[in-house]
Amino acid sequence: MKPELWRTTPLGFTRQGSYYYGVSPTMRNVYVATLDVTTGKMLAAPAPVTQRLLGANGHPAWSPDGRFLAYRSRREHGSGGAVDRVFAIRSVESGETREIAPKHLRGFGFAVWSRDSRYLVGIGRDENGRQGVFKLDVQTGETEGFENFWGIDIARPVGLSADGSSLFYKARLDSSAFIAVRGLEGGSSTVLYRWNPRTDTETVALSPDGGTLAFNRYDNGRGLLLVMPASGGEPQVLVEFPPDGGGAGQITWTPDGRNVVYRNDRELWCVPADGGEPWRLELAMEGRMLGASRNLGFHPDGRRIAFDAEDRQREVWVMENFLPSDETEN
Q: What is the average per-residue pLDDT within 11-36?
A: 87
Q: What is the average per-residue pLDDT within 104-110?
A: 88
Report the chain's terminal Cα–Cα distance, integer Å: 20
Helices (H), the chain: 325-329
Least trusted range by pLDDT, from 39-48, 86-95, 238-247, 319-328: 319-328
- pLDDT higher than 90, residue 42: yes
Exposed / middle / buried, residue 46 (Cβ in 10 Å: 0-12, 13-18, 19+): buried
Given this model, what pLDDT does residue 327 score? 53
What are the φ and ψ backbone dihedral angles of 106, each rounded to 5 degrees? -85, -25
Local structure of residue 245 (DSSP, 8 states): S
Q: Is residue 293 classed as helix, strand or coil in its secondary structure?
A: coil
Given this model, what pLDDT does residue 322 score? 83
Q: Which of 61, 54, 60, 59 is nearest to 27 (CA)?
A: 54
CA distances from 314 to 22, 266, 294, 322 (A): 7, 20, 20, 24
Given this model, what pLDDT does residue 68 score? 97
Q: What is the average per-residue pLDDT within 163-192?
A: 92
Q: What is the average per-residue pLDDT within 208-213?
A: 97
The one-letter code for the residue type at 45 is A
Determine the Cα–Cα distance for residues 96 and 127; give it in Å rounded to an integer.
31
Given this model, what pLDDT does residue 249 score? 84
Looking at per-residue pLDDT, the higher value among 138 and 56 belongs to: 138
- pLDDT higher than 70, residue 312: no
Given this model, what pLDDT does residue 217 score? 87
- pLDDT higher than 60, residue 65: yes
Given this model, what pLDDT does residue 7 score? 65
Average pLDDT, rounded, for the chain: 87
Name the band, by pLDDT with cuts 50, 70 and 90, for residue 43: very high
Determine the Cα–Cα distance for residues 135 and 138; give it in Å rounded to an integer.
9
Q: Is residue 199 classed as helix, strand or coil in its secondary structure?
A: coil
Counting other chains too, the contacts that 134-143 makes at CB distance below 8 Å and 24 or more residues apart are 134/102, 134/105, 134/108, 136/87, 136/100, 136/102, 136/108, 136/111, 138/68, 138/70, 138/87, 138/89, 138/100, 141/100, 141/101, 141/102, 141/103, 142/103, 143/102, 143/103, 143/104, 143/105, 143/108
Q: In what order do the strands lie in the sheet with 190-195?
A: 156-160, 166-173, 176-183, 190-195
- For the chain, the maximum distance between any two Cα atoms, rounded to a whole number of angstroms, is 74
Share of the chain above pLDDT 90, in %: 59
Name the band, by pLDDT with cuts 50, 70 and 90, for residue 220: confident
Q: Which range is most confident: 5-14, 49-58, 117-126, 167-176?
A: 117-126
Q: What is the average per-residue pLDDT within 203-222?
A: 91
Determine the Cα–Cα distance for residues 285 and 65; give it in Å rounded to an integer.
28
Exposed / middle / buried, residue 259 (Cβ in 10 Å: 0-12, 13-18, 19+): buried
Opening angle at CA 235, ends 230 and 240, nearest 5: 130
Given this model, what pLDDT does residue 224 score? 92
Share of the chain above pLDDT 70, in %: 86
Given this model, what pLDDT does residue 78 score? 40
Determine the Cα–Cα distance for residues 204 and 228; give it in Å rounded to an integer.
11
Given this model, what pLDDT does residue 55 score? 56
- pLDDT higher than 50, residue 25: yes
Q: Is residue 149 classed as helix, strand or coil in its secondary structure?
A: helix
- pLDDT higher than 70, residue 137: yes
Question: What's the pLDDT tens digit per position in 251-293?
Answer: 999 999 999 999 998 889 999 999 999 999 998 776 566 767 8
Determine the Cα–Cα distance for residues 279 and 269; give it in Å rounded to an integer.
6
Looking at per-residue pLDDT, the higher value among 27 and 94 belongs to: 94
Q: What is the pTM of this model?
A: 0.83
- pLDDT higher than 50, residue 81: no
